[in-house]
């Protein structure tokens, strides 16, 4: 599959360009799961609860086309396919870390912006 590169003028700003790559509910969760370790398709599906096989497959293909995810196919019987982050994908995850920190802080605040007394939410230690 050949990657379609949009010309720089096609985006309003850098956030617009980034959102073109990570837009949607599942892509950042896929990136978070792959930041932990290399995964096979089934492992990724379990790591991202609620995503359908069709959507996961489509998003992995898009992330691969954008140079974010590497897909390694091993010549075995049965075939084994593993997904990992490329250096570009690692840099994208590093750029998303402050957003994840903001999100974690935000869920512990009430409407006035002061910190609420809440128990930590399971699964929010990272990402």
pLDDT in tens, 91-107: 999 999 999 898 888 88
- Whether the bond between 100 and the residue before it is cis, its omega within 30 degrees of 0, is no
For 43-90, write each residue's pLDDT tens digit: 999 999 999 999 999 999 999 999 999 999 999 898 899 999 999 999
More confident site: 16 or 64: 64
Instruction: Confirm if 61 and 53 have CB atoms less than 8 A apart.
Output: no
Would you state the pLDDT for residue 13? 84
Tell whether pTM > 0.75: yes
Would you state the pLDDT for residue 41? 96
For 115-125, write each residue's pLDDT tens digit: 665 555 555 55
Measure the CA–CA gap between 99 and 70, rounded to whole angstroms: 24
9-15 contacts, C-beta under 8 A, 24 or more apart: none
Mean pLDDT of 25-39: 94
CA 83 → CA 17, 39, 60, distances in Å?
23, 5, 8
Tokens of 37: 């370790």
Q: What is the layout of strands, in order, in the sheet containing 69-74? A: 39-40, 80-85, 69-74
């Amino acid at each position: 599959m050949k990657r379609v590169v949009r010309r720089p003028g096609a985006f309003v700003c850098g956030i617009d360009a980034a959102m073109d790559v990570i837009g949607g509910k599942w892509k950042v969760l896929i990136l978070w799961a792959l930041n932990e370790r290399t995964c096979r398709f089934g492992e990724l599906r379990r790591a991202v609860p609620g995503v359908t096989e069709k959507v996961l497959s489509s998003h992995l293909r898009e992330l691969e086309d954008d140079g974010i995810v590497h897909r390694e196919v091993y010549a075995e019987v049965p075939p084994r396919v593993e997904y990992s982050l490329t250096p570009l994908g690692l840099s994208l995850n590093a750029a998303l870390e402050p957003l994840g920190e903001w999100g974690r802080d935000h869920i512990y605040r009430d409407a006035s912006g002061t910190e609420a007394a809440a128990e930590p939410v399971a699964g929010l230690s990272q990402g």
